[in-house]
Amino acid sequence: QVQLVESGGGSVQAGGSLRISCEVSRHPNSGYCLGWFRQAPGKEREGVATIRPEGGNTYYADSVKGRFTTARDNAENTVILQMNGLKPEDTATYYCATTHASFLGVCPTATPAYIYWGQGTQVTVAS
């Protein structure tokens, strides 16, 4: 059973920084894609960023480009989402998720492509 465990997040003032980690275990495929998603109360879940940990290919939504960075951590099975220049509109529950299949090149951005999900972690940005 694939397991994703998130840690980090929290509360910060606007302009501050937070980091979320996602530890992936027991994934059967090495070339999977990992996506970061967020969902604010009353809003649909939206994609924030994707990464193929094996190759490092990344994608960022326009709303976070230049402020958020996702990368594989020193631990081989951990990916981080570094969030700088946070804004109140970034307030949401953040989730990491992985595809089941392996991908070469660009990772999918559509939510249904992501099969395994973390438990979510809250990010709150005060104005």
pLDDT at 104: 85
pLDDT at 98: 97
Q: What is the pLDDT of residues 40-95, one digit of tens each?
A: 999 999 999 999 988 888 999 999 999 999 999 877 799 999 999 999 999 999 99
Instruction: Give me the chain's average pLDDT, please.
Output: 94
Q: Are 48 and 66 in contact (CB under 8 A)?
A: no
Dihedral sign computed on CA atoms, order 59, 65, 70, 71: positive
The pLDDT > 90 percentage for the chain reads: 83
Q: How far apart are CA 34 and CA 101, in angstroms?
A: 11
109: left (phi over 0), alpha (psi -120 to 50) or beta: alpha
More confident position, 60 or 109: 60
Q: What is the pLDDT of residues 2-54, one digit of tens each?
A: 999 999 999 999 999 999 999 999 998 989 999 999 999 999 999 999 999 88
Helix H or strand E encompassing 3? strand 3-8
**Which pair of tokens denotes residue 22?**
């996602």
What are the strands of the beta sheet with 78-83, ordered from one edge? 3-8, 18-25, 78-83, 68-72
Q: How far apart are the first and last CA of the chain?
A: 40
- Is the model's pLDDT at 100 over the cut of 80? yes
